Amino acid sequence: MTRDDLVRFRAGFASCELVLLADISAGTVLMSDSAIRLGQEHLDALCRTAARLFDPAATLPARLAVLSGPTGCRVFLRAAGDSAEALCCLFAPGADLTAIDTAGLDLIRSEDTGT
């Protein structure tokens, strides 16, 4: 996966303000694309949230998590239960998230397979 893949992915969703790929086991943001330039601390905060939501020791392991509220939706996906990488996206309030599951999985699985 390249940064251009993230740019194209974000362009495919109206109201998607940010997308980033993170290595949640290392706590590292690998690459990102956003509508406005965000400070590293904001990207790191998303990475930490992803790590907490996809904790390997979680009693309720999830493949998709969405924190939805008055400022919009923070969407977190990972390709498999034991994957170290997660996709994090920020959407404006009320944004259509219908295709995010499938499109996000396609993107992050392309990273896993190197395509």
Partner 1 sequence: MTTAQELAALLARAAAVGVDRQGDQQGLSEDALGLALRAIRNTILPRCLTIQADTGAMIKAEVSGGTLLTVIEVQGAESSGLTGHPLRATDPAEVSAVAKVLEELFGDAVEASVRAEPPNVEPDPTQSGIAADALMDLLGLAPFAAAVPDPLDHFQEAAADVLIAVHKADGGETPLRDSFRTPPALHDAIVRTASDPDGPLGEIGPGEILFLAPCDSADLAIGLTNDDGHWLAMVFDADSLPELSAYWSGITHGIVRLLS
Site for partner 1 contains 41 (CB under 8 A)? no
49 phi, psi to nearest 5 deg: -65, -45
Site for partner 1 contains 56 (CB under 8 A)? no
Q: Which amino acid is at 10?
A: R
Q: 3-class DSSP state for residue 37?
A: coil
CB of 2 to partner 1, least distance (A): 25
Longest dimension (CA), the chain: 37
Q: Which is nearer to partner 1, 59 or 115 (CB)?
A: 59
CB 96 within 8 A of CB 80: no
Site for partner 1 contains 35 (CB under 8 A)? no
Q: Which is nearer to partner 1, 38 or 66 (CB)?
A: 66
Site for partner 1 contains 105 (CB under 8 A)? no
